[in-house]
Amino acid sequence: MTDFTTRSAMNDTTFAVLGTGGIGRRTLEVSQHKDGLTPVAACDRHGVAMDFDGLDVEELLEATEGNIDSGPGTDAPRGTDASRDDDLETDGGAAASSGVKQHGENAGVVASAQARPSEDPIQEIIDHGDGIDAVLLALPNYEHDFIPRVADRFVAGGYAGVLVDVLKRSRVIGMLDEREEAFEDAGITFVCGAGATPGFLTGAAALAAQSFVEVESVDIWWGVGLKSGYEDNRGTVREDIAHLPEYDIDTARTLSEDEIEAVIDDHDGVLEFDDMEHADDVLLERAGICDAEDVTVGGILDVERDEKPTTTTVSVTGTTFDGETGTNTFELDDATSMAANVNGPAIGYLKTAVRRNRAGEYGVFGPAELMPGF
């Protein structure tokens, strides 16, 4: 019989974070409060920090506070098309002169005593993949094929393990599905859309759907108050602006910092979104919960205040086995922050994916597929 200590050791997980913007930093911070997790690497476009005995997260976070690239396409490691200084058309890569805030001589992660500059930080992570169970891709996704292309590099480099992203675009799921066979051959378990929405909320919808034999609709309505403000969440705000009626992914990714702030000012700091192109729809469809067209996503982002402008809810309407029609509603407490609701679930899905990977399950998985089957 396997005792608790042995089970815990079997579940120990080493992980790396690509990108040290808001999501990457918060993932490292939250991981300190989760059992069985050891962060061993973190990188951004400037360099890489790596220690297989475990990073000193507190030192890393303190050293890089306020030290993140802030231009269009923030925070992609070098070694990707998105990191080219002259290319603002891909997500993740900002020109070095584009609003970089830094302490002393070093920008980004290189400000940490644990880090060093690198011409290709991603390749360094890949080259040390034998010691890394899972990698969180904490990168913006302005170019739809950017995260799939990063995944291609891990396949080409011989990585076998877990990749997790927190993407929010429906069409990217299809690009990852096209790589399913390559992931399976490589021994990669890829979990897509593992943040708050779609990940947390599609997981809630998958549970709520269990009451029904047929789901008629799923309505997701979210509210976010940026407790840490726009400065710490530039990538998230830019991605969300692309969902406003007067913008799209192409126009949003080329906005200057002044233009983004003007958009925020024009909306008095509160951005409201209806019928967004979020990956919740295709992720619920691939899990067999409902058709993608039966899913609606909207929400309100308050960039200037701590309080959530509206309560985040997931409402699943369906018919039970005995012919009754009802709606199950899942509600997030207004006190839980965006960071808690994004990074906590992302880490949970990461740990689940590691268990699946060790059991020999490879390919592409949506968060709802890791919940009870419908």
Distance CA 280, CA 52 (A): 35
- Decide if 239 is catalytic: yes
- Decide if 168 is catalytic: yes
Catalytic residue among 46, 143, 243, 285: 243
- Three-class DSSP labels, the chain: CCCHHHHHHHCCEEEEEECCCHHHHHHHHHHCCCCCEEEEEEEECCEEEECCCCCCHHHHHHHHCCCCCCCCCCCCCCCCHHHCCCCCCCCCCCCCCCCCCEECCEEHHHHCCCEEECCCHHHHHHHCHHHCCEEEECCCCCCCCHHHHHHHHHHHCCCCCEEEECCCCHHHHHHHHCCHHHHHHHCCEEECCCCHHHHHHHHHHHHHHHHCCEEEEEEEEEEEECCCCHHHCHHHHHHHHCCCCCCCHHHHHCCCHHHHHHHHHHCCCEEEECCCCCCHHHHHHHCCCCCHHHEEEEEEEECCCCCCCCCCEEEEEEECCCCCEEEEEEECCCCCCHHHHHHHHHHHHHHHHHHHHHCCCCEEECHHHHCCCC
Catalytic residue among 46, 124, 143, 239: 239
Question: Closest Cα to residue 41, out of 121, 149, 140?
Answer: 121
Catalytic residue among 46, 124, 168, 285: 168
Cα 80 to chain centroid, rounded: 18
Contacts of 48 (CB under 8 A, 6+ apart): 41, 42, 77, 109, 115, 116, 118, 121, 124, 125
Catalytic residues: 168, 239, 243
